[in-house]
Amino acid sequence: MNIARRGILALAGALGIGAMIASAPGVAQDWEPKKPVEFIIMAGTGGGADQIARLLQGLIEKKDLSPRPFIPINKPGGSGAEALRYLQDKAGDDHVVLVTLNSFYTTPIIQQDLGVDISNFTPIGRMALDTFLLWVNTDREDITDLDSYVDAVKAAGMEWKVGGTGSGQEDSILTAMMEKEFGYEVTYIPFPGGGTVAKNLVGNHIDSTVNNPAEQNEFMRAGNTKPLVQFTPERMQSYPDVPTAQELGHDIVYFMQRSINGPPDMSPEARDWYINLFKTLFESEEWQTFCVEDGLTCDEWVAGDDLAAFHAEQGKRHQELIESVGAAAITGE
């Protein structure tokens, strides 16, 4: 039965009108959830990870893929530190999964005393890769490409304001990488969320930003902002005219992964059930449409041990990145 009817009827029941509905239990399998599954989001409401979790929850509900509901719970504390520690403490629990950002890698590196080792977690599946582009306001007619951008930044020096979603977040790492590559220094101003960053760029309160496509697309279409360069290995379908940094001779490539992970020591049966579930979702038409519209890359399904290998590689890469730019460049103090 659908959640709408359930919600309304339950409310009626709760009000004392009373209603009883029984639904048939799901098809027997090796393992399936016995109670509602906690769907932990390591970021606040309304962000990219949150949207993904709520979309997936809705799809699970709509397609009736789970006998128990998935319940999104936001734990944004400490750049995801709270979520990671929560998951660590839930070791062996088969009814909790986590939607990640790249703070999955960076938070344990930057906050050493957290005591979380992500290699203990149970990788389930990678739903998408998100990409980054460099954006400026279209009012800046003097900036047309990467070179003129670098010149403008160097001329402005510390007065050049780059907006981002927070020190230690993906875009601050990318900003630090660019500072190192081009040999300039800028002022990095954190805002609570990519949408706010985009608005501040349109309102000329900041000079540039590295936003995800989803956060800037509408402003680009309205002619408010323009992308200068993309940080992908190859040009994306949606931005055929924007060069990649590699084409221009600067080796900056950066992705954000959106993956689903379980706590340490999840039972293999449960893990397989979740892998199956999220694979079905990944292949669904709705998910693929969402990916295209949101500028996400969803070509390849990576699950289980392959995802563990991917996490290991990305973890190492972030470790190197943070060492090379210096943790101080990212945390800002």
Segment 27 to 46, residues that bind other proteins, using CB under 8 A:
34-36, 38, 44-46
CB within 8 A of 197, min separation 6: which ones? 163, 164, 165, 191, 206, 209, 211, 215
Cβ proximity to other proteins: between 107 and 122 the closer is: 107
- Tell which one of 32, 54, 138, 156 touches other proteins (CB under 8 A): 54
Which whole-number Å values give the CA distances from 310 to 15, 79, 128, in the listed order?
50, 21, 13
Pick between residue 9 and residue 236 the one whose CB is nearest to other proteins. 9
Contact 65, 277 (CB under 8 A): yes
* d(C-alpha 146, C-alpha 164), whole Å: 19
Q: Does 330 bind other proteins (CB under 8 A)?
A: yes
Measured between alpha carbons, how far is 82 from 78 in angstroms, rounded to an integer?
6
For residue 202, state whether it binds other proteins (rule: CB under 8 A).
yes
- Under the binding rule (CB under 8 A), the answer on residue 196 touching other proteins is yes
Cα gap 274→125, rounded to integer Å: 9
Site for other proteins in 287-306 (CB under 8 A): 289-290, 293-294
User: Smallest Cα–Cα separation from 166: which of 137, 181, 188?
Assistant: 188
Per CB under 8 A, contacts with other proteins among 149-168 are: 158-159, 161, 166-168
Location of structure tokens 């954006």: 135
For the segment 109-128, give every residue that binds other proteins (CB under 8 A). 110-111
Query: Closest approach of Cβ 308 to other proteins, in Å?
Result: 25
Among residue numbers 175 through 194, which ones bind other proteins (CB under 8 A)? 187-192
Q: What are 80's two structure tokens?
A: 């995801």
Q: Which helix (H) or strand (E) holds 104?
A: helix 103-110
Tokens read off for 259:
């993956």
Instruction: Choose which of 31, 32, 71, 138 interacts with other proteins (CB under 8 A).
Output: 71
Q: Which of residues 10-29 bind other proteins (CB under 8 A)?
A: 10-11, 13-15, 21-23, 25
Answer for which of 65, 148, 154, 195 binds other proteins (CB under 8 A) is 195
Between CA 24 and CA 43 the distance in angstroms is 35
Task: Please pick, from the candidates 31, 32, 55, 255, the single residue that binds other proteins as defined by CB under 8 A.
Answer: 55
CB of 326 to other proteins, least distance (A): 14
Query: Long-range pairs for 57-63 at CB < 8 Å and ≥24 separation?
Result: 59/281, 59/284, 59/286, 59/287, 60/277, 60/281, 61/2, 61/3, 62/2, 63/280, 63/284
Contact yes or no for 188/164 (Cβ under 8 A): yes
Number of residues that bind other proteins (CB under 8 A): 87
Applying CB under 8 A, which of residues 100, 169, 230, 232 lies at the interface with other proteins?
169
From the list 127-135, 230-238, 242-250, 286-294, the region that binds other proteins by CB under 8 A is 286-294
Please, what is the minimum distance in Å from the beta carbon of residue 216 to other proteins? 9
Among residues 30, 62, 147, 326, which is the contact residue for other proteins, using CB under 8 A?
A: 62
Min CB(22)–other proteins separation in Å:
5
Take residue 132 and report the two structure tokens written for it: 């980054």
**Looking at 77, 156, 276, 308, which residue binds other proteins (CB under 8 A)?**
77
Closer of 122 and 225 to other proteins (Cβ): 225
